[in-house]
Structure 1
């Protein structure tokens, strides 16, 4: 922000989003019925101090308006004291200056998905991919070669929140199943060594594609979620010779 003549003066960042209770009041009955609770969006307020000269004051305000206006869509914010997390926000509210002569300006933001995510995802990158030091990628241990039925592997979710991964299965199998001890994802049919199956388990997606084409009918409509920590999977099927990759960003409560 210093390049446009502003500095972060104050940050109001709730530790958790507001809770939205789902309750029902019945006539002639004390209390309420509790149907659980969900988190609402997380609201952020950033206060910037305009550090530019009086001559450049309006230019700095204009630059802030270009940076934070709603037409920009989703903004991925990073804070210097939390460099490995991205806070994905949209502009919500009024870009408001203080009283006449004030150099403080408030920016109202809203996280529709209230959870910050890791700066990088877990997709496999190999030496020779053209990555440079500092690009923000790491060599992942979320990719597994499976050559026999009954083989197990463990996926680590280093975040503090559940996440729906993209499961990419490359290679040959017949009637493959993937079990985490709670549920079983089953893919019916056969693939060849060059086929790629992608199961997107994100709550707002839940799709199955084969070589980029809809293949939802192959699945039994089970989409695993990764809890924080380690999850062990067991693979069963016939003629299994695949690589299974879990691609996701860690999600954090804060």
Structure 2
């Protein structure tokens, strides 16, 4: 099974086993077109991405068919409570990526003696792309000017966060940062 966390809580710690997560390659597109009377076709104003949805196919694993089973179901309900807002998901088969979304839909459980099977629908609304842990550490600039090339392996262009720290005694003056995208 895939090791997964929701808000830093391993799903296995509440008795959930993740069978699959079915994350689509890209979010669905939203085409912005306008049809005009007495004109063939439509005016195309481009496309944007809509919310990305995916399902967590899980097994509820309990020690008995009554008390422990219902305790596990209650823990699942508490973890995915919509009132908590967005949840950060991580998956062992997608290291370094965080998927931020929320439970959206219904969570029917099919009980099978001690265990149960359920599908948890997740929607990534605000940002349909995963975040990553890309970081560049301890680059010391010893000459001026110097160019640093930072490569991002992400799915979508993102604005970098650049932190400069002066480790010397002199005040640094007149530095320039240029952020360019390679095509």
Q: Could you say which TM-score interval applies, normalised by the shorter chain?
A: 0.7 to 0.9
Equivalent in the alignment of 1:173: 173
Change (3 A) 1:9 1:169: closer
Which segments of 5 or more consecutive residues in structure 2 lack a partner in the other structure? 1-10, 167-171
Partner Cα distance (1:146, 1:107) in 2: 52
Aligned partner (choices 156, 162, 169) of residue 161 of structure 1: 156
Q: Determine if the alignment matches structure 1 residue 145 to structure 2 residue 141.
A: yes
Partner Cα distance (2:182, 2:100) in 1: 21
Equivalent in the alignment of 1:114: 128
Q: Cα offset for 1:123? A: 5.3
Query: Residues 11-65 of structure 1: CA distance to partner in whole angstroms, max 9, x if unpaired?
Result: 3322211100111212211111111111111011112222212031111100101
Aligned partner (choices 17, 30, 38) of residue 27 of structure 2: 17
Contact 1:9 1:48 in 2 (8 A): yes
Q: Determine if the alignment matches structure 1 residue 80 to structure 2 residue 76.
A: no
TM-score, normalised via structure 1 length: 0.56
Aligned partner (choices 61, 70, 95) of residue 107 of structure 2: 95
Contact 1:162 1:227 in 2 (8 A): no
Change (3 A) 1:151 1:96: same
Change (3 A) 1:151 1:109: same
Equivalent pairs, count: 164
C-alpha RMSD of matched pairs (Å)? 2.7
Change (3 A) 1:25 1:178: same
Partner Cα distance (1:179, 1:123) in 2: 17
Contact 1:157 1:227 in 2 (8 A): no
Equivalent in the alignment of 2:43: 33
Q: Cα offset for 1:146? A: 6.4
TM-score, normalised via structure 2 length: 0.75
Change (3 A) 1:100 1:6: closer
Contact 1:163 1:227 in 2 (8 A): no
Contact 1:144 1:153 in 2 (8 A): no
Describe the SS at the equivalent of 1:114.
coil
Contact 2:134 2:152 in 1 (8 A): no
User: Which stretches of structure 1, 4 residues or more, deviate above 4 A after TM superposition?
Assistant: 99-102
Q: Cα offset for 1:159? A: 2.2
Q: Cα offset for 1:166? A: 1.5
